[in-house]
Amino acid sequence: MVMQVTAIYPGSFDPVTNGHLDIVNRSRDKFDRVIVAVLVNLEKTPLFTTEERVAMLGEVTGQWNNVEVDTFEGLLVKYAKANHAKVILRAIRAVTDYEYEFQMALMNRRMEPDIETVFMVPAVEYSYLSSRLVKEISLLGGSVSGLVPPIVEDSLKKKTGSEG
């Protein structure tokens, strides 16, 4: 019997950046199925609605057969288990990401020992990129060209009223 490995790539994706896409692209031939899972976080106020974030992700990952986009609420490990995923995929950009990711990986393992967190490193040109900075630059009228896919750039311009 051949084991099929499903990986969940969770996050806020507010909005998806070229760094996120780079990780999805790198992961898709490492796992049989990759689910990009958008957290529905009722406490945070995102710039883009869940529907908008899912639509943008769907559009930019649509050409990849084994990549799906979904949403989740509540505990990530419960969602992973319900989807028979053995892997939680997270990206680490710099040492500063490490502490938070380390805590989450160990806490998730404590709750679900069978689910492994796998860390991936994005292309070096995206190692300083974050959704937070992209939003800030766009809100302040700067250009995010080359940092996000063109459809996200357009959505950011509309949302922030910037000409970027």
Burial of 7-46, coded b for 16+ CB within 10 Å and e otherwise, reads bbbbbbbbbbbbbbbbbbbebbeebebbbbbbbbeeeeeb
By CB under 6 A, what part of segment 95-114 binds ligand PNS? 104, 107-108
Determine, following the binding rule CB under 6 A, whether residue 87 of this chain makes contact with ligand PNS: no
**Least distance from ligand PNS to the Cβ atom of residue 75, Å:** 4
Active site residue 44: yes
Active-site choice (33, 93, 109, 157): 93
- Burial of 159: CB neighbours in 10 Å, binned 0-12, 13-18, 19+: middle
CA–CA gap between residue 39 and residue 14 (Å, rounded) = 10
Question: What would the x/- binding string for ligand PNS be over residues 14 to 43, using CB under 6 A?
Answer: -------------------------x----
Nearest CA among 72, 66, 29, 34 for reference residue 53: 72
Tally of CB atoms within 10 A around 114: 9
Q: Do the Cβ atoms of 35 and 73 come closer than 8 Å? A: no
* Binder of ligand PNS out of 12, 25, 117, 162 (CB under 6 A): 12
Active site residue 109: no
**Least distance from ligand PNS to the Cβ atom of residue 94, Å:** 14
**Least distance from ligand PNS to the Cβ atom of residue 163, Å:** 28
Active-site choice (27, 53, 86, 131): 131
Q: Which residues bind ligand PNS (CB under 6 A)?
A: 10-12, 39, 75-76, 104, 107-108
